[in-house]
Amino acid sequence: VMSEGSLYDRELAALAIVQARGDMIEAIFLIRAYRTTLPRFGYTRPADTAAMLIERRVSATYKDLPGGQLLGPTFDYTHRLLDPELAAGGDVAEPMQRATEAEPMPRVSAILAREGLIEADGDMPGEHVPGDITREPLQFPMARDVRLQALSRGDEGFLLALGYSTQRGYARNHPFVGEVRV
């Protein structure tokens, strides 16, 4: 509800779900309608993911990825058994801490671009004002920034399905995931 309503507020999302009697689509509409009454108080800038502190970094493109593969903390490799000691108030092990200095890790897409294996996004004109799908109706064809906004609002299950369907490709297309970062 918060994702598709484009408003991060747990209490309002819960209120919308209750008011909509559990109908998630109606709750999303309620949150979207409420959001339009709020003033805009800021804008975000693109994150430089090559400079971010990486917890997980996995690439299907390179076995020996520059900067290395980093599996990070995950439950994927543990036995999925409940621990009754935790229910009895047992101590939880302190997580390991690591240095917080981010080491530069080049993006796989940048490596592929240097090798001429990926198409460039293209340059936006200097006077380009990013679209805002929460304030303006969609107009087709959509610019890249508007497409990305629409995708980010979509249900994550749909995004995952879209990613997998793109992976499978068709005809002579052989797409792949360069890397996944968290």
HEC profile of 81-149: CCCHHHHCCCCCCCCCCCCCCCCCCCCHHHHHHHCCCCCCCCCCCCCCCCCCCCCCCCCCCCCHHHHHH
Q: Are 118 and 165 in the same domain?
A: yes
Give how many domains the chain has, as a whole number. Answer: 2
88 and 76 both lie in a single domain: yes
Is there a single domain that holds both residue 80 and residue 62? yes
Instruction: Give how far Cα 78 sits from Cα of 58, 83, 88, 95, Å.
Output: 18, 12, 21, 15
Do 121 and 89 belong to one domain?
yes
Mean pLDDT (whole number) for 22-43: 89
Host H or E run for residue 4: helix 2-5
Per-residue pLDDT averaged across 14-21, rounded? 95
**Residues facing residue 181 across a β-bridge:** 57
Q: What is the pLDDT of residue 23?
A: 92
Same domain, 25 and 78: no
Task: Assess whether pLDDT exceeds 90 at residue 18.
Answer: yes
User: Do 71 and 118 belong together in one domain?
Assistant: yes
Note whether 133 and 99 are same-domain residues: yes
Where does residue 27 rank: exposed (0-12), middle (13-18), buried (19+ CB within 10 A)?
A: buried
pLDDT of 174 higher than 90: no
Between residues 150 and 76, which one has the greater pLDDT?
Answer: 150
For residue 13, give its domain range.
1-38
| Predicted local confidence at residue 172, as pLDDT | 63
With a cut of 90, say whether residue 21 has pLDDT above it. yes
Model pLDDT, residue 168:
59
Same domain, 98 and 174: yes
Calculate mean pLDDT across residues 72-81: 70
Q: Which amino acid, one-letter code, is at 137? A: P
- Are 171 and 87 part of one and the same domain? yes
Residue 89 token pair? 């108030």
20 class by beta-carbon count within 10 Å (0-12 exposed, 13-18 middle, 19+ buried): middle
Check whether residue 95 and residue 148 sit in a common domain: yes
Rounded distance between C-alpha atoms, residue 148 and residue 154, angstroms: 10
Are 17 and 61 contained in the same domain? Answer: no
